[in-house]
Amino acid sequence: GGIITQTPKFLIGQEGQKLTLKCQQNFNHDTMYWYRQDSGKGLRLIYYSITENDLQKGDLSEGYDASREKKSSFSLTVTSAQKNEMAVFLCASSSRIDTQYFGPGTRLLVL
């Protein structure tokens, strides 16, 4: 088995601030994903990466940057936090296009 760790668990930011979320996995999966989930809503893909140093935009990439420095880690940056923004950011990993395993999420609140 393996585990996905996301840090921090909670993130409170100020409007206009640059915020970074981190994800680590020990499954040795090649593909990693970042999703955003607004309260009660579905998953929206922000970025994914099929290998180290690869980045692919999802449907919601505007306003975000991502970085895959090594196989086990995938970071997401909110480039300019929007006032009153509130969402959960979920990281996931998979072996190619097989089952995705999700982390516990980072809950973001922008004041």
Partner 1 sequence: GDSVTQTEGLVTLTEGLPVMLNCTYQTIYSNPFLFWYVQHLNESPRLLLKSFTDNKRTEHQGFHATLHKSSSSFHLQKSSAQLSDSALYYCALSGTNKVVFGTGTRLQVLP
**β 106-110/101-102 pair status:** unpaired
- In the DSSP assignment, the letter for residue 50 is S
Nearer to partner 1, 65 or 107 (CB): 107
Residue of 17, 45, 60, 65 that binds partner 1 (CB under 8 A)? 45
Residue of 14, 56, 82, 95 that binds partner 1 (CB under 8 A)? 56
Six-digit token pair at 12? 């409170």
Q: Is 27 in the site for partner 1 (CB under 8 A)?
A: no
Q: Which residues contact 58 (CB under 8 A, 6 or more apart)?
A: 33, 34, 44, 45, 46, 47, 48
Q: Is 11 in the site for partner 1 (CB under 8 A)?
A: no
Subset of 71-100 contacting partner 1 (CB under 8 A): 90, 94, 96-100
Nearer to partner 1, 17 or 22 (CB): 22
Q: Is 48 in the site for partner 1 (CB under 8 A)?
A: yes
CB distance 79 to 28 below 8 Å? no
Q: Rounded distance, CA 23 to CA 106, Å?
A: 10
| Interacting residues with partner 1 (CB under 8 A) | 33, 40-43, 45, 48, 50, 56, 90, 94, 96-105
